[in-house]
Amino acid sequence: MREPLPPDMFEELCPSGLVPIRFGDKWAGLVLACLRTGPRRYSELRVPLARVTPRVLTRSLRALERDGMITRTVEQSPPRVEYRLTPLGHSLMELYATVCDWTARHWDELLDAREAYDAEHAEATAR
């Protein structure tokens, strides 16, 4: 006996692109982690995130700013731009940490499953 699904549960549903905000962004989690202990300037973010090109980093920052996760404050003399977590961003960062924690705890399981699956399908195409 199968339990029925709510009939209209998925009528106006939010796909993953909407629901887990910023979790589709490749570098957003790392940006949040960089800002966890305090505000950082653009060039300070570029050091730990050296593998991210300026174009990509800027876009991630803008997206996080648009969603109210970080603030961007400009001041001249000296010219500097400072990024800082908002309370909302801090909350997201903590959620993100729980996700990373989950991943770390189940990482081996996942790798094993992936390896088994790939082995299974390699022989299927090899034969």
Partner DNA sequence: CAGAATCCGCCCGGATACTG
Partner DNA sequence: CAGTATCCGGGCGGATTCTG
Give the binding-site size for DNA (rule: CB under 7 A).
23
Buried b (16+ CB within 10 A) or exposed e, 52-73: beeeebeebbebbeeeebbeee
- Rounded to a whole number of angstroms, the minimum distance from the CB of residue 91 to a second copy is 7
CA distances from 14 to 4, 80, 92, 99 (A): 20, 38, 19, 20
Q: 66 or 127, CB closer to a second copy?
A: 66
The entry of a second copy, DNA, none near residue 81 (CB within 5 to 8 angstroms by kind) is: DNA
Which residue of 54, 58, 68, 119 would you call a contact of a second copy, by CB under 8 A? 68
Question: Is-contact 94 52, C-beta < 8 A?
Answer: no
The entry of DNA, a second copy, none near residue 58 (CB within 5 to 8 angstroms by kind) is: DNA
* Run of H or E including 62: helix 54-66
The entry of a second copy, DNA, none near residue 9 (CB within 5 to 8 angstroms by kind) is: a second copy
- Does residue number 21 form part of the binding site for DNA (CB under 7 A)? no
* Distance from C-alpha of 35 to C-alpha of 125, rounded to nearest angstrom: 47
Q: Give the contact letters, 45-84, x = binds to DNA (CB under 7 A), - = no.
A: ------xxxxxx-xxxx----------x------xxx---
Give the Cα-Cα-Cα angle 102, 69, 82 (nearest 5 degrees): 120
The entry of DNA, a second copy, none near residue 42 (CB within 5 to 8 angstroms by kind) is: DNA
